[in-house]
Amino acid sequence: MSEATHIHPGSVGHEVAHDDHHHGHHEQSFITKYIFSQDHKTIGKQFLITGIIWAIVGGLFSVLFRLQLGFPGQSFPILETFFGHWAKGGTIQPEFYYALVTMHGTVLVFFVLTAGLSGTFANLLIPLQVGARDMASPFMNMLSYWFFFMASIVMISSLFIQTGPASGGWTVYPPLSALGQASDGSKLGMDLWIVAMALFVVSSLLGGLNYIATILNMRTKGMSMTRLPLTIWALFFTAVLGVLSFPVLLSGLILLLFDRNLGTSFYLSDIVVAGEVLPNEGGSAILFQHLFWFLGHPEVYIILLPAMGMVSEILSVNSRKPIFGYMAMLGSLFAIAILAFLVWAHHMFVTGLNPFLGSVFVLLTLLIAVPSAIKVFNWLTTLWRGNIRLFPSTLFAIGFVSLFISGGLTGIFLGNSTIDIHLHDTMFVVAHFHIVMGVASMFGMFAGVYHWFPKMFGRYLNATLGYVHFWVTMIGSYLIFWPMHYEGLAGMPRRYLDKSIWKSFNQFGDLDKMITVVSIIVFAVQLMFVFNFFYSIFKGRKVTSTNPWGANTLEWTTPINPGHGNWEGEIPEVHRWAYDYGKDGREFIPQTEPVGANESKH
């Protein structure tokens, strides 16, 4: 049973990638290299670029519905030019507004912050940072991207059909989403939404299984689990969350599809639509919400955990200090992953959920504050008295921490079912989740892109544009979302097309205008980032050393533009954890360096 004797560094189960590396180059056509590529780095880039395209689309949607919210009923003739009867006379029609809101949520939550974030960085970083030539199954990895691509195509196609895309909110609650006769957005668009999401679940499953198997099985020699960078741990828990919770959404959506098309009554009971009494009886609309949020809540952490992991890594690298409390970070990630599965019904306090059951969910929900606080303190103490290098990536990482604190605190308000009675479905909720998971995760993603762009493309992003990008986005995000707390506390409902008939909300008219103007500016700055991204791929400053940031992790031991297989020659062996910064008078000690005889303990 002496397995160890069989192991040679560099042959950790990856003969094929190895071979590719040595004699695969000249045989690769454009199609196998850039389109149906099985190289995890290329697949990561595919996820990233698709995610960026989706982010532009989803962001544009938010600008459009913000126009309506800031300037209710006002005419913008250019809208009619582009959107025809959806914006008759230049005003955004109610159906259009709800379609925009729904698609904004769906696109940003699933296509940008799930696929674009964890899809990108799990693919890029897992093999590079654990020391593997590729994913466990490069083929399934490729399928994962193409299922995502197909999901994207189906979702996009739903934007162009006569009745428009799904418009019942990104949570697609029945009965609205189950009954085609209830609204235009519940017709074909809803079926396409379900199909797209089913494809998306397949994609996320294929990807997630790969990430888990790679992290467990393919670590290079010496890379024990407690030597893994925190990015990998975060991506690992993200994958576990996805593998265990997405299937529940799939089940819920299959039942919804049956309710829509086969006349079943899983979610429907006692319904009258436009004077017609429906025969459906005995279903429960709350059941769908349970199923949806059983995914929906872990989904929040699927979005947030990769950002947390990357921020931990970037803060440590750029403050030239070891991460504070590695094991505590790891433990809190684990605790968050477990709790993510136990708290779903806190999204449903006012739906008719059993109040006693709700109180248990309150308790479990508030427990999340503990690991979250541990993480925040550890980030702050990592920065504390560090030799901080304020790169754009560092700034975005610090911005993430700031947003996570601001948004996390309002989570404590909303986690209490009693306060939720007042705050539910108001702008307060919008402010909370946008700050804590929307913008915060975007910041984590930006931090990751600025930090790993040199590894992806062998060039730097323009730093000046990066600083402008950061400051405008940071200030803009707070300007957009901070006032929404006040609106929400005053009772202003979310999702409403036009609130001007309530006199008491008129005081917020100018505030809403300001929010809209700022969101247009912030959106424009994101387009500037996109320009920076694509410009720098081709024209950016070239990276000249393999380790431009002076980081310890394994990806910086590969060539500047690594081929398929990542390392020329053998995969390096790992001798220490990833956070030996500022140790024994040395700025950083890579993981590949053996522990010296006189080295102090960390």
**Contact set for other proteins, span 223-252 (CB under 8 A):** 223-225, 227, 240, 243-248, 250-252
**214 binds other proteins per the rule CB under 8 A:** yes
Asked if 205 touches other proteins (CB under 8 A), the answer is yes
Q: Please, which of residues 547-586 interact with other proteins by CB under 8 A? A: 573-575
| Closest CB 27 distance from other proteins, rounded Å | 16
Instruction: Map the footprint of other proteins across residues 2-61, applying CB under 8 A.
Output: 2-4, 6-7, 9, 11-16
Nearest 5°: phi and psi at 213?
Answer: -65, -40
CB atoms within 10 A of CB 523: 17
Distance in Å, CB of 490 to other proteins, minimum: 31
Assess contact for 215 and 236: CB atoms under 8 A: yes
- Name the one range near other proteins by CB under 8 A: 203-211, 311-319, 405-413, 510-518: 203-211
Which of helix, strand or coil describes residue 542?
Answer: strand
If one asks whether residue 84 binds other proteins (CB under 8 A), the answer comes out as no
CB of 457 to other proteins, least distance (A): 29
Which listed range, 84-92, 276-284, 314-322, 418-426, lies at the site for other proteins (CB under 8 A)? 276-284
CA dihedral (72, 74, 76, 80) positive or negative: positive
Work out how close the CB of 219 gets to other proteins at its nearest, in angstroms, rounded to a whole number: 4
CB of 243 to other proteins, least distance (A): 5
Q: Which one of 25, 34, 281, 602 is in contact with other proteins (CB under 8 A)? A: 281
Task: Give the torsion sign (CA, 156, 159, 161, 165).
Answer: positive
- Tell the smallest beta-carbon distance from residue 255 to other proteins (Å): 7
Based on the shown chain and the rule CB under 8 A, indicate whether residue 220 belongs to the binding site for other proteins.
yes
- Write down the least CB distance from residue 540 to other proteins, Å: 34
Tokens 């479905």 belong to which residue? 425
- Cβ count near 331 (within 10 Å): 13
Which residue, 18 or 424, has its beta carbon nearer to other proteins? 18
Q: Residue 279 Cβ, how far from other proteins at the closest point, in Å?
A: 7
- What is the maximum alpha-carbon separation in the chain? 84
The four Cα atoms 386, 391, 394, 395 give a dihedral, to 10 degrees, of 110
Tokens describing residue 471: 């400051």
- The whole-angstrom separation of Cα 512 and Cα 312 is 35
Least separation in angstroms between residue 211's CB and other proteins is 10
In contact, 89 and 176? CB cutoff 8 Å: no
Does the protein bind other proteins through residue 213 (CB under 8 A)?
yes
From 407, 422, 530, select the one nearest 112 (Cα to Cα).
530
Q: Kindly identify the residues of this chain, within the stretch 105-144, that bind other proteins according to CB under 8 A.
A: 131, 136-137, 139-140
In the complex with other proteins, which residue's Cβ is closer, 246 or 452?
Answer: 246
> Nearer Cβ to other proteins, position 21 or 290?
290
Minimum gap (Å) between residue 286 Cβ and other proteins: 6
Spatial separation of the C-alpha atoms in residues 99 and 96, rounded to whole Å = 5
Rounded-to-integer distance, Cα 470 and Cα 451, Å? 14
Q: Does 531 bind other proteins (CB under 8 A)?
A: no
Structure tokens at 34: 């850039």
DSSP string computed for 315-380: HHHHTTSPPTTHHHHHHHHHHHHHHHTT-GGGG-TTTT--HHHHHHHHHHHHHTHHHHHHHHHHHH
Report CA-CA distances (Å) from 47 to 251, 525, 570: 26, 22, 28
Residues 370 to 429 in contact with other proteins, rule: CB under 8 A? none
Look up residue 143 and give its two tokens.
């399928």
| Residue 441 touches other proteins, criterion: CB under 8 A | no
Comparison of 115 and 291: residue with beta carbon closer to other proteins: 291
Which residue among 542, 594, 596, 602 contacts other proteins (CB under 8 A)? 594
* Separation CA 98–CA 212 (nearest Å): 38
Choose, by CB under 8 A, the member of 26, 160, 262, 598 that binds other proteins.
Answer: 262
Tell me how far, at minimum, the Cβ of 174 lies from other proteins, in Å: 13
| Residues from 311 through 370 that contact other proteins (CB under 8 A) | 341-342, 345, 352-354, 357, 360-361
Nearer to other proteins, 19 or 587 (CB): 19
DSSP 8-state assignment for residue 584: T
Cβ neighbour number for residue 5 with a 10 Å cutoff: 6
Query: Which one among 210, 394, 410, 462 touches other proteins, defined by CB under 8 A?
Result: 210
CA dist., res. 195 & res. 289, Å (int): 19
Taking residues 282 to 301 in sequence order and writing x for each that binds other proteins by CB under 8 A, - otherwise, the string is xxx-xx--xx--x-------
List, in sequence order, every residue forming a beta bridge with 586; answer none if it has no partner: 583
Number of residues counted as binding other proteins (CB under 8 A): 78
CB 40 to other proteins: min, Å: 14
Structure tokens at 1: 């049973």
* Interaction of residue 150 with other proteins, rule CB under 8 A: no
